[in-house]
Amino acid sequence: GIQVEQSPPDLILQEGANSTLRCNFSDSVNNLQWFHQNPWGQLINLFYIPSGTKQNGRLSATTVATERYSLLYISSSQTTDSGVYFCAVDSDMRFGAGTRLTVKP
């Protein structure tokens, strides 16, 4: 089946810093999603982005389907951004292992 790899596995930032999270996938996909799991375990859909670029406030995402990767950008990070970020592809509905982000005040 398709492989989904996320990097880095862990990321620690100071409040106000910017970051880029990466998601690589091993085969063609029709759809890709980014999720945030907060420290209480709740999963929230951030972006549904099979291709192109989308922005939502301080977050934006870019998917280059032909090169099999997606990037999630977080600008001016806040402590509330802490948690685990997952990407998922529609092929077999596979999730990556996630990037654990900690934003320190």
Partner 1 sequence: IAGITQAPTSQILAAGRRMTLRCTQDMRHNAMYWYRQDLGLGLRLIHYSNTAGTTGKGEVPDGYSVSRANTDDFPLTLASAVPSQTSVYFCASSQGWGNEQFFGPGTRLTVL
Q: Detail the DSSP E strand segments found in the chain.
A: 4-7, 10-14, 19-25, 32-37, 43-48, 52-56, 59-64, 69-74, 83-89, 94-95, 99-104
DSSP conformation class of 4: E
Which of the ranges 10-18, 19-27, 54-62, 92-100 carries the binding residues for partner 1, by CB under 8 A?
A: 92-100
Q: Which of 19, 72, 96, 101 binds partner 1 (CB under 8 A)?
A: 96
28 vs 76 by CB, closer to partner 1: 28
Q: Tell the smallest beta-carbon distance from residue 89 to partner 1 (Å).
A: 9
| Measured distance CA(99)–CA(10) in Å, rounded | 5
Pair 101, 19: CB distance under 8 Å: yes
The interface mask with partner 1, positions 4-43, x = CB under 8 A, is --------------------------xx-x-x-----xxx
**Per the structure block, which two tokens stand in for 63?**
């998917």
Size, binding site for partner 1 by CB under 8 A: 21
Residue numbers at the binding site for partner 1 (CB under 8 A): 1, 30-31, 33, 35, 41-45, 48, 86, 88, 90, 92-98
